[in-house]
Amino acid sequence: MKKIIALLFCLFFLSFVSAQVNYYDLDRDHLADTVVLEKGLLTVHFGNKTSDSFELPEIMTLINTTIRYTNPYEISVYYTGDKVLYGTINIFYKNDWIIKNMNFYNPCQECKDQNFKISTKNINLPLQDVDPEILEVDSKGFKSLTFFDDKGILTPYKELKKLYTDLFNYPLLADRFNKTTISELKKKFVLSQSNSDCYNNVAYILSENGKQQVGIELLQQIIEKFPARTVAYLNLADSYWGIGNKESAILNYRKYLALMKSQKKDFNKVPKYVEERIK
């Protein structure tokens, strides 16, 4: 008898929990609202018998949308696609539909929670006032990274290797780097022998993505502390060449070749364009 009572209690409790998970009261009138998502159209049937519908903002390449429950007063829309990136948009109702914030993620095997948050932005704007361009996505990453503030860009990173990986996979992340960001990077990750490779890689990828000036600043720091680091001279020369400073580029190409010779390194690894540019 006790077992039967316990079983009935569990069933009642589970049904109660299940009901709570699906409960919405977006207009806060103490009447349950029903939220339906179908083919990008989100429809809310308010408890007072009125209904309202709106199309969800489109995020290029993230074509799949599902609803995830957060609390009775907020709708969380989960965006996924064929890329590892995914995102969520939180929407609430206050006389109109308001986008509260956006969060973009990339699965991270090295992180404790396995989800590395690329960017987040509090918006709090009526749905119709949100510029669709801030939600665009390219094949590598979120174009909306250009929309987010530079403040706190380095906060999530615990190591330079992960920063380099993100810069490599999402070139638009490089757009957010400037002199202030580089200054913060130097303070957070003090250059040392153990991280000099990562420093060089970060500088290289920044230069490759049009940020030659910040790349040059990092490479000059590397060379100042480790003057025998051959590849840094090559990357520095390439960066100078990229901004049209051919005189500084040639000077560093020659230093690069001199170190390759003095350190008896394999000249077959010297890029063919180096000799052409020196001439």
pLDDT tens per residue across span 158-184: 889 888 887 887 666 777 788 888 999
Residue 117 in this model has a pLDDT that exceeds 80? no
Say if residues 160 and 195 touch (Cβ distance below 8 Å): yes
pLDDT in tens, 189-229: 999 999 999 999 999 999 998 899 999 999 999 999 999 99
The answer to whether 78 touches 66, Cβ cutoff 8 Å, is: yes
Say yes or no to pLDDT of 104 above 80.
no
**pLDDT at residue 39 tops 50:** yes
Question: Average pLDDT for residues 69-93, to the nearest whole number?
Answer: 84
Does pLDDT of 9 surpass 50? no
35 or 149, which is more confident: 35
Average pLDDT over residues 95-111: 73
| Residue 247 reports pLDDT greater than 90 | yes
The tens digit of pLDDT for each residue in 264-276 reads: 999 899 999 999 9
Distance CA 86, CA 105 (A): 5
Average pLDDT over every residue of 123-149: 61
Q: In the predicted model, what is the mean pLDDT of residues 104-121?
A: 57
**Run of H or E including 75:** strand 74-80
Residue length of the chain: 279
Q: Return all residues near 87 (Cβ < 8 A) that are at least 6 apart.
A: 59, 62, 78, 79, 102, 103, 104, 105, 142
Comparison of pLDDT for 175 and 116, the residue scoring more: 175
Q: Are 103 and 62 a contacting pair, CB within 8 Å?
A: no
Rounded mean pLDDT of 146-150? 47
Q: Is the pLDDT of residue 111 over 70?
A: no
CA–CA separation, 272 and 256 (whole Å): 13
d(CA 161, CA 101): 29
Mean pLDDT for the chain overall:
80
Section 8-35 average pLDDT: 63
Rounded to an integer, the average pLDDT of 62-72 is: 85
Higher pLDDT, 16 or 264: 264
Pair of tokens at residue 32: 């349950």
The reported pLDDT for the residue numbered 137 is 54
Picking from 217, 143, 220, 216, the residue whose alpha carbon sits closest to that of residue 175 is: 143
